Structure 1
Amino acid sequence: MNKKIITLAAVCFTFGLAGCANNDAMEQNVADLNSKIDSLSSQVESLSGEVGQLKASQEQSAADAQAAKEMAADAQAKASQANERVDNVVSSYKK
């Protein structure tokens, strides 16, 4: 019976030491993971900033394109008016 108790105590002691030995490795793994999480968080923040800049740039480009469209439509209308005037002048000479 004493042998069983001593053997059981030795096994418990061995498992206890094994558990303590793994704590340092586990803490190192947790520290590594926290470092990676911090790195990824900073990358996400950086990319979010870039996305915001690109969105603002895209909105400005869309506004510029709309302004160019309006200017082109205005120029086309003025050209049509000028053509009508020229046609009127030409038709007055034909009479």
Structure 2
Amino acid sequence: MLKKITAVTLALALTACANTDALDESITSLTTKVDALSVQVADLDAQQKSIAADAQAAKELAEQAANDAKAANERIDNVVASYKK
């Protein structure tokens, strides 16, 4: 009986060691993947901020162009009005 218990204990000990190595390998693999994803998220965040800045600049330029066009149309209207008088 004692031999069977010893054999089972030895088998469990060896199995536990093998599982620990596999677990460590899995943890290492997952850590590597998380690190890679963290880098990708940081890159995407930087790209998003750059795109948002570009979009804001384009919006400001469009607003300025609309204001300039409105001012030019008013000047043209004033010139045309002065010829009719």
TM-score scaled by structure 2? 0.96
Question: 1:53: which partner in 2?
Answer: 43
| Distance across 1 between alignment mates of 2:82 and 2:12 | 103
Report % sequence identity: 44
Question: 2:21: which partner in 1?
Answer: 31
Which has the larger Rg?
A: 1
| Distance across 2 between alignment mates of 1:33 and 1:21 | 18
Question: 1:14: which partner in 2?
Answer: 4
Structure 2 stretches of 5 or more lacking a match? none
Structure 1 stretches of 5 or more lacking a match? 1-10
Cα offset for 1:17? 1.8
Q: Give the number of equivalent residue pairs.
A: 85
Following TM superposition, the consecutive aligned residue runs of length 4 or more in structure 1 with deviations greater than 6 angstroms are: none
